[in-house]
Amino acid sequence: MAIQHIEQFAPELPQRSRVREFADQTLAALKLVPDLTVDNSQAVSNRAFIGFLIGVFTAGLLLLLSVNTALTSGAFTLENMKLHLAAVNDQRDAMLNQVATFSSPDTLATSATKLGMLPQLSINFLDINSGSSK
């Protein structure tokens, strides 16, 4: 009976020392922190924060509007330049067609006859050594 009585208390001794070690570790890990509550006089009011957000939102919208306006005006300028380029290309094509018409052999022959030139009926070759034509 005495042995049973000792065995009953023997397991409790190591458990008490484990609990005490655990308590010592827990106490060492805990620290006191200062009170971090804020007085109402120091807190930022909700109205000021909402006003700040509205101001940032308004500034962003105005910036977006100005960028959009600049891009739109650039698009109109680009469209006007494209139309001007198309008109210049049409004029160039018309002038090239006119030059091609004036430089055709029939038109050149008609113009030469009006100026008093006569068509050459035979081909003459020039001999450079003798200075004569054949």
Phi-psi sector, 132: left (phi>0), alpha (psi -120 to 50), beta: beta
Beta carbons of 78 and 86 less than 8 angstroms apart: no
The whole-model pTM stands at: 0.41
Higher pLDDT, 119 or 60: 60
CA distances from 31 to 11, 20, 27 (A): 33, 19, 8
Higher pLDDT, 63 or 103: 63
Query: pLDDT by residue (tens digit) across 7-16?
Result: 555 555 455 5
Which pLDDT value is given to residue 48?
A: 85
**Which tokens is 36 given?**
């971090």
Kindly report the average pLDDT of the chain as a whole number: 80
Mean pLDDT of 41-70: 88
For residue 106, give the DSSP letter: H
Please state which of the ranges 36-40, 45-49, 72-76 shows the lowest mean pLDDT.
Answer: 36-40
Beta carbons of 43 and 36 less than 8 angstroms apart: no
